[in-house]
Amino acid sequence: MDNRQKELNNLQDYKYGFSTDIENIQAPKGLNEDVIKFISKIKKEPLWMLEFRLKAFERFKVLKEPDWQKPKFPKIDYQDLYYYSAPKSMKDKPKSLDELDPKLLETYKKLGIPLQEQARLNGIAVDAVFDSVSVATTFKDELTKQGIIFCPISEAIQNHPELVKKYLGSVIPTSDHFFATLNSAVFTDGSFVYIPEGVRCPMELSTYFRINASNTGQFERTLIIADKGSYVSYLEGCTAPMRDENQLHAANVELIALDDAEIKYSTVQNWYPGDKDGKGGIYNFVTKRGLCKGKNSKISWTQVETGSAITWKYPSCILKGDNSVGEFYSIAITNNHQKADTGTKMIHLGKNTKSKIISKGISAGSSDMTYRGLVDISSKAKNSTNYTQCDSLLMGNKCGAHTVPYIKNKNSESNIAHEATTSKISEEQLHYCQQRGLNPEEAVGLIVNGFCKEVLQQLPMEFAVEAQKLVGISLEGSVG
Amino acid sequence: MKEQLQKDFDNSIKNLSLSQKDIEIKKFCLDNFIDKGFPNRKEEDWKFSDLNQIIKKNIGELSFYNDQTSTNKVDTSVFVDGLEHNKIVFINGRIEKIDFEYEKKDQIEIIDQSETINEFKNSNSLSDLNNAFTNKCFKILVKKGYQLVKPLIIYHTTNSKIWSKNINLRLNFELDKDSTLRLIDLFNDTSEKNFLNIFYNFELKENAVLKNYKVDKFENKNIKYSFNNIDQDKNSISETFILSAGSNFSKNEINCNLNGVYASAFVNGIFSLNNHKHHEIRSIINHLTENTKSYQLIKSVLDERSKAVYQGKIFVNSDAQKTDGYQLSKAILLNKDSEFNAKPELEIYADDVKCSHGSASGSLNEDSIFYLMSRGLSYQQSRELLINGFLLDVVEKITDSEIKNLIKNMIGIKE
């Protein structure tokens, strides 16, 4: 057996499906003001933060769960969830990694994210989030030297309240849609990044999300601020144990780019997708929104979506500053009974704004995939352009692939171009590859990788290799 | 509005000789409509065109009762010259004339179907309104193997006798095996501020060919909604061409079910709008079985505060392998106040298919204008030439050369 085959066999099932047996502190089950106060108290939050949460909760009470999306799911009982869960050992924050629970270290090691000094990934600073708390952040000192703030958001609320107060909720307000508002009320942890004026962040920043406890919803909140003329590249990875029941993950991510700043946000999402019969898996209902606030700013989203039972998210760009640029690169792969409804929104408000959308969807097995996107050029966004390309690949006749773009052009000096295709892997291509000695699986892998290349190229090196493998694994067993 | 509806409904059924059962069905439809009202932007299909608002703003109070007891004089000056054709004439919603003078009488049957009810899968509250208030409905049956010698032109004429009225029309067509029908809908309005609600149902049997050209070109202040349902059997072909230009507001809906193998549907459209006009085309092509084909091309030229919307959907059932679906919409925005919205949608459940769509909108290409001007044309001439060429593309898709020339002359497009 060659190496590749061995590797594939190892990875055939969900590799990250183990769970860590660790003692937890949990908030009482259910959602009410007391639980929110509990979360706020355990995080030692100032009053304004509690008020922020309660305001969101008031709003949440009158909102209804949306139902326009394509993948339908059984009603979630929001009172039957734990909104806070943290390893007991994290109650009093360990001062250094040496004090960290060895079980946690072991977990991250298994996931391939070593937190210890000697084994750290070169050039990537990691913030590791375990259920509701951030357990460790690496390379902190080095970043501090440059004035970069990279820490769990709960720490930022205490240490940098002026920044958090100014920007938190400025892109996703507390009065937003159902899941975003829920997140505003009960969010537990996540990352906070601030890049000062003129600084180019010397390494990739990364957060690794892990859901461990059962019956818990994970609600993390990420806030990234790139001040004038700065640059940051941020990565996000996620996994969860295999469980029979569905788990909810409703995160909010806010990006703010000021004048001449650039933020690059990459996600490799590999939550547990459920088993072959569609039992279990994560509901990934995430709100991601970036605001190009300043002139010449740029926000670029790259996502590789392979996990989750249901993915429902639209990373968006609001192009407010003149000459700002928004980009969205996406690969979404669904297999077995997975469902995905994903895409982007590009809202052009400033002059000379540009956006580009490249979306590649692959559906196999009995899965269902939808690209849903909005391009809106307002009447003031003179001389703006958008280019959209969304391609879908179908494998087998039990799956579905759908495209629902909304295109609005209110400015005669602006141009929009949209293209979409849906097809299957052509027999000719397969034949060509097989003729040259590849077996059918390898041939499909090669063709799919070619299909995705445009997006994979956008990922940072280390991630690209990982993602390429992931694409292969996700489609295991869908050929023939 | 409810009282008005109720009152007008009572008035209109008084003049009809309907059985108790039919009245009850109509009443049921009326109640449905009262319940739902005119479609508004909260409904996904009406997201870009809020009919409820548009009627409120442009017409205000509508009345639904039309006195159709007396006949209207047919004005022959509206008839198309230079093309021999069969005629159906509607004046203010009343059928005044059905004339198949060029055809063999025994090959075409006209059946009164006034008591049947529309039941379309993808319909909305307007079909209820139509059911409640239509008082005459004919079915035109083209018999097996008969191909109409001359095209049929349906004249939709309204005159200044009516004002703030809702007019409901309905026609059914059945094209039996191997038959052919060429049909032109010609709108000719001298009235103002009325709401026309038109439902057509086409049933195409094996090998039948339908060519439907809808021409709304003359400037008028009416609001129009037209729904075409087309059911297609094996090997049948439907071709729909829409020229959407004249009315203040117009929405054309085409719902096409490709039920038989090798059936194909073509939808082509032109929006040519100015002066606050707001038009929409919505097409739904349902590929329900193997080896079916659809092709759609929509082009828009938008001037002065006008707005065009194109919502096109290609649906492919899991049985519909080897489907070929294509959709393209292009728009030129001439004025900074004009707006183009599109929602080209694909919903696909079969893997061995070839489906694609494209949509582009923007301004006239400055380079092309420069090219033409550097060869001696004025700015205005170059602009006209480019728009002419842009639209000609769609007109060229018309497969019937006689009608192609007629339409070219009508809209003044040169080759």
Helix axes A440-456, A427-435, angle to 10 degrees: 110
- Do the chains contact at A398 and B318, CB–CB below 8 Å? yes
Predicted structure pTM score:
0.87
- Do the chains contact at A394 and B348, CB–CB below 8 Å? yes
Give the separation between CA B234 and CA B375, rounded to whole angstroms.
52
Query: B44: which chain A residues are within 8 Å (Cβ-Cβ)?
Result: 68
Mutate to test the interface with A, among B318, B351, B387 (most CBs of A within 10 A): B351
* Nearest CA among A237, A242, A249, A312 for reference residue A281: A242
Q: Give the number of beta-carbon pairs within 8 Å between A and B.
A: 115
Q: Is the pLDDT of residue A120 over 70?
A: no
- Do the chains contact at A397 and B334, CB–CB below 8 Å? no
Q: Which two tokens stand for residue B351?
A: 């893997």
Nearest CB to A420; choose among B333, B337, B357:
B357
State mean pLDDT over A342-367. 92
**B365 near A CB under 8 A:** no
pLDDT in tens, A368-384: 999 999 999 999 999 99
Q: What interface predicted TM-score (ipTM) does this complex get?
A: 0.85
Cβ atoms of residues A268 and A237 within 8 Å: yes
Query: A68: which chain B residues are within 8 Å (Cβ-Cβ)?
Result: 44
Query: B341: which chain A residues are within 8 Å (Cβ-Cβ)?
Result: 406-409
pLDDT in tens, A304-352: 888 888 999 899 999 999 999 999 999 998 888 899 999 999 999 999 9
Q: Give the closest-approach CA distance of B58 to chain A in angstroms.
A: 22
Query: B351: which chain A residues are within 8 Å (Cβ-Cβ)?
Result: 394-397, 399, 424
Query: B338: which chain A residues are within 8 Å (Cβ-Cβ)?
Result: 412
Q: Give the closest-approach CA distance of A72 to chain B in angstroms.
A: 16
Of A62-76, A161-175, A250-264, minimum mean pLDDT range: A62-76
Give the separation between CA B359 and CA B329, rounded to whole angstroms.
5
Cβ atoms of residues B358 and A420 within 8 Å: yes
- Do the chains contact at A412 and B334, CB–CB below 8 Å? yes
Query: A402: which chain B residues are within 8 Å (Cβ-Cβ)?
Result: 345-348
Query: B359: which chain A residues are within 8 Å (Cβ-Cβ)?
Result: 405, 407, 416-418
Q: Per-residue confidence at A10, pLDDT binned at 50, 70, 90?
A: very low
Q: Which two tokens stand for residue B199?
A: 């439902």
pLDDT in tens, B363-392: 888 899 999 999 999 999 999 999 999 999
Nearest CB to B348; choose among A401, A405, A415:
A401
Name every residue whose Cβ is closer than 8 Å to that of residue B256 and which is 6 or more positions away in sequence.
B229, B230, B232, B238, B265, B267, B283, B284, B285, B286, B294
- Do the chains contact at A412 and B363, CB–CB below 8 Å? yes
pLDDT of residue A444: 86
Cβ atoms of residues B166 and B198 within 8 Å: no
Parallel, antiparallel, or unpaired for β A191-195 and A149-152?
A: antiparallel
Question: What is the CB neighbour count within 10 angstroms for residue A277?
Answer: 9
Q: Give the closest-approach CA distance of B346 to chain A in angstroms.
A: 5
Q: Give the closest-approach CA distance of A427 to chain B in angstroms.
A: 10
Give the separation between CA B54 and CA A371, rounded to whole angstroms.
31
Q: Give the closest-approach CA distance of A422 to chain B in angstroms.
A: 5
Of A43-47, A76-80, B82-86, minimum mean pLDDT range: A76-80
Query: B346: which chain A residues are within 8 Å (Cβ-Cβ)?
Result: 392, 401-404, 420, 422
- Do the chains contact at B353 and A412, CB–CB below 8 Å? no
Q: Which two tokens stand for residue A10?
A: 């190892």
Over pLDDT 70: what percentage of chain A? 87
Give the separation between CA B27 and CA B5, rounded to whole angstroms.
11
Residue for token pair 């094209």: B175
pLDDT of residue A8: 46
Q: Which residues of A touch B (CB under 8 A)?
A: 68, 379, 392, 394-424
pLDDT in tens, A399-443: 889 999 999 999 888 999 999 988 888 888 889 999 999 888 888
pLDDT in tens, B110-144: 888 776 676 766 668 888 888 888 877 889 999 99
